[in-house]
Amino acid sequence: MALEEFKARISLLLEEMVNQPEDQHEIQEQLREKLREMRAMGLPLPADLVELEKRLDDDFYAAGT
């Protein structure tokens, strides 16, 4: 999958997070999966998405305590 296709799919996931907050956890997992795929393929990860991933992880762990 090309970098542009990953960016397009991630963009759609981010839109879904805004438009369907009730599905936020599922969408977050899909976003993490796309980032893992990008890492596995050696593609560059945009810094803003790496930061978003960190914030999602922080929020997840904070909610669990």
Nearest alpha-carbon partner for 17 in 29, 6, 1: 29
pLDDT at res. 27: 85
**Chain centre to alpha carbon of residue 29:** 7
pLDDT at res. 1: 61
Burial code (b: 16+ CB inside 10 Å, e: under 16) for 6-30 equals beeebeebeebbeeeeeeeeebbeb
With tokens 């922080």, the residue in question is 58
22-60 confidence digits (pLDDT tens) = 888 888 889 889 889 999 999 888 888 889 888 888 877
**Hey, where are the domains in the chain?**
1-61
Mean pLDDT of 11-22: 86
pTM: predicted TM-score of the whole model, two decimal places: 0.74
